[in-house]
Amino acid sequence: MGGAVIQYICVTLSYWAFTLTDGALRMLVLLFFHGLGYSPIEIASLFLLYEFFGMVTNLYGGWLATRLGLTRTLQIGLAVQILSLTILLKDTTALTVTYVMLAQALSGIAKDLSKMSAKSSIKALLPDSAQNSLYRWIALLTGSKNALKGLGFFLGGALLAWFGFHNTIGLLIGLLITVLTLGFFVLETNNGKTSFKTKLRDSLLKSERINRLSLARMFLFCGRDVWFVVALPVFLQSQLAWTHIEVGSLMAAWIIGYGAIQTVAPRITNPDGAVTNGTALFKWANLLLVAPCLMAAGLHYELNPSVAVVVGLVFFAVLFAVNSSLHSYLIVAYAKHDSVSLDVGFYYMANAGGRLLGTILSGLIYQYSGLASCLLMSALMIVASGLVARQLPAPTD
């Protein structure tokens, strides 16, 4: 187990570094282009290829990992992120929507190669009998990753204000090069390779439980991103006159708190070691549903918008963190030990699909109908997620 722990720590550190730069880059791009006068739909379009290529990467990245190993696909993800940042070092007058979309496409590939590799590695490091350890390790990786993503949101807003666009990009590149170099000396290279030749079509042939869980995940993340990724920061700036640093700080605090809850989710949902199943997902989805409904009601009845949004964000963070942790554990628990990256990659393809749909709807609905309508759409997506997941069995069944 000692060697497994060392590998887990190294994988986690690599994923942390990537996540920090990814969160900073998203906030950097969003705030920078909003400051240039881009509309919500135009801002949303900047991230469409990011999510689309995340879907493609998850689908085929799992197959690639069975050939090259999870360590190599993780390192490829870090290298591609360095490339995506480097091409943004052009003069800001040359950063057109199309050019930034292409840079974000590379970043989407990098993100999902890194995520799939990091989470699949944990399954490969533990035996099938260690379900409680698997849940804790997944929760810790996912929660700490989101805390770092939140810090990245803050850094994106703060560094943009303090050092400007190009200097911030340079700092992020330096961090990734350092971590990538260290990984070459520490991480094992054969982790995740299969003893048999997998085919591309194996990426699509999944069990009913993985298909159902993946669909539930798609609805869940669409339910978050439909109001969170574009509509919320634009609302805070355009309607409440918040500054770059204020917006970045709030988004950062939300993600950090959400990540902290994820790390302790096993204690909340599984204190007695009971096995998680679809009934638990359905229950927690119903609880999550309350948060966007209350926020939408607060905005509709013209309560103090800052209070309505911030208080609603706190409740949503806690409940969404638990939902996400349960989903993340189940996919790794359901995955086959000898081809874990294929199953996890398919699942995170659905995750990226939900984010893509949520991003499109976030810009579109907000521009034509406002934040309250985005929140109501969120509620519908959460209902769908809970209903799809309800019949899922426990991993041991």
Per residue in 31-76, pLDDT (tens digit) is 777 777 777 777 777 777 777 887 778 777 767 777 777 778 888 8
Q: Which residues contact 157 (CB under 8 A, 6 or more apart)?
A: 27, 28, 31, 244, 245, 247, 248, 249, 251, 252
Question: What φ, ψ does residue 244 adopt, rounded to 5°?
Answer: -55, -50
Token pair listed for 203: 């990426």
Q: What is the pLDDT of residues 207-231, one digit of tens each?
A: 788 889 999 999 999 999 999 888 8
Encode burial over 336-360: b for 16+ CB neighbours within 10 A, e otherwise.
Answer: eeebbbbbbbbbbbbbbbbbbbbbb
What does DSSP assign to residue 201? Answer: G
**pLDDT for 259 beyond 70:** yes
Print the SS3 string covering 26-57.
Answer: HHHHHHHHHHCCCCHHHHHHHCHHHHHHHHHH
Cα 375 from Cα 378, distance rounded (Å): 5
**pLDDT for 246 beyond 70:** yes
With contact defined as beta carbons under 8 Å apart, do 62 and 341 qualify? yes
Tell me how far CA of residue 38 lies from CA of 56, 153, 367, in angstroms: 28, 20, 12
Summary mean pLDDT of the chain: 79
The pLDDT of residue 190: 58
The pLDDT of residue 2: 45
Please tell me the total number of residues recorded for the chain in this structure: 397
The pLDDT of residue 271: 52
Entry pTM: 0.73
Encode burial over 190-219: b for 16+ CB neighbours within 10 A, e otherwise.
Answer: ebbbbeeebeeebbeebeebbebbbbbbbb
Residue type, 75: Q
With contact defined as beta carbons under 8 Å apart, do 55 and 185 qualify? no
With contact defined as beta carbons under 8 Å apart, do 31 and 162 qualify? no
Cα 276 from Cα 169, distance rounded (Å): 42
Cα 380 from Cα 57, distance rounded (Å): 28
Give the up-direction half-sphere exposure of residue 252: CA atoms within 13 A in the CB hemisphere.
Answer: 22
What does DSSP assign to residue 203? Answer: G
Residue type, 195: S
Token pair listed for 329: 């554990």
What does DSSP assign to residue 196? Answer: S
- Which range has the top average pLDDT, 67-76, 149-158, 212-221, 242-251? 212-221
**pLDDT for 195 beyond 80:** no
**pLDDT for 252 beyond 80:** no
Cα–chain center distance at 110: 12
Residue with tokens 């439909």: 226
Structure confidence at residue 367 as a pLDDT band (50, 70, 90): confident
Instruction: Please report, for the chain, the start and end positions of each structural domain, with discontinuous segments joined by +.
Output: 2-190+199-389
- Which range has the top average pLDDT, 13-17, 230-234, 244-248, 266-270? 230-234
**pLDDT for 310 beyond 50:** yes
Q: What is the pLDDT of residues 81-120, one digit of tens each?
A: 899 888 888 776 767 777 777 888 888 888 777 777 776 7
3-state helix, strand, coil in the chain (%, to 5): 85, 0, 15
Cα 44 from Cα 104, distance rounded (Å): 12
- The predicted model gives 256-260 an average pLDDT of 81
What does DSSP assign to residue 63? Answer: H
Q: What is the pLDDT of residues 312-335, one digit of tens each?
A: 988 998 999 899 888 888 887 887
Structure confidence at residue 275 as a pLDDT band (50, 70, 90): low
54: left (phi > 0), else alpha (psi -120 to 50), else beta?
Answer: alpha
The topology under which CATH files domain 2-190+199-389 is Growth Hormone; Chain: A; (1.20.1250)
Residue 178 neighbours by CB distance under 10 Å: 11
